[in-house]
Amino acid sequence: MKKLKLAISDKEFLTLEDAARLLSVSRTTLYRLRKEGVLEVKKVGRKQYILRKSIDQLFNPSS
């Protein structure tokens, strides 16, 4: 079975590392944005994922 690897821009959920790379910020900044309620984060087990729509809303608040 082949594994499909999506580009960061095509993912609906991003790991903290992917989101940090996409936004060119540190993980600490992402934790702060999460704490402030700017980014919506979902936990699956021990991993945290940031919803892509949260990142998009940073740049398009009216959407």
Range of the domain at 47: 11-59
**Number of domains present in the structure of the chain:** 1
Written as one string, the DSSP assignment of the chain is -PPP---GGG-SEEEHHHHHHHHT--HHHHHHHHHTTSS-EEEETTEEEEEHHHHHHHH-TT-
Within a domain: 4 = no
pLDDT value, residue 60? 85
**pTM of the entire structure?**
0.74
For the domain that residue 28 is a member of, what is the CATH number? 3.90.105
Residue range 7-57, pLDDT digits in tens: 776 778 899 999 999 899 999 999 999 999 989 899 999 999 999 888 888
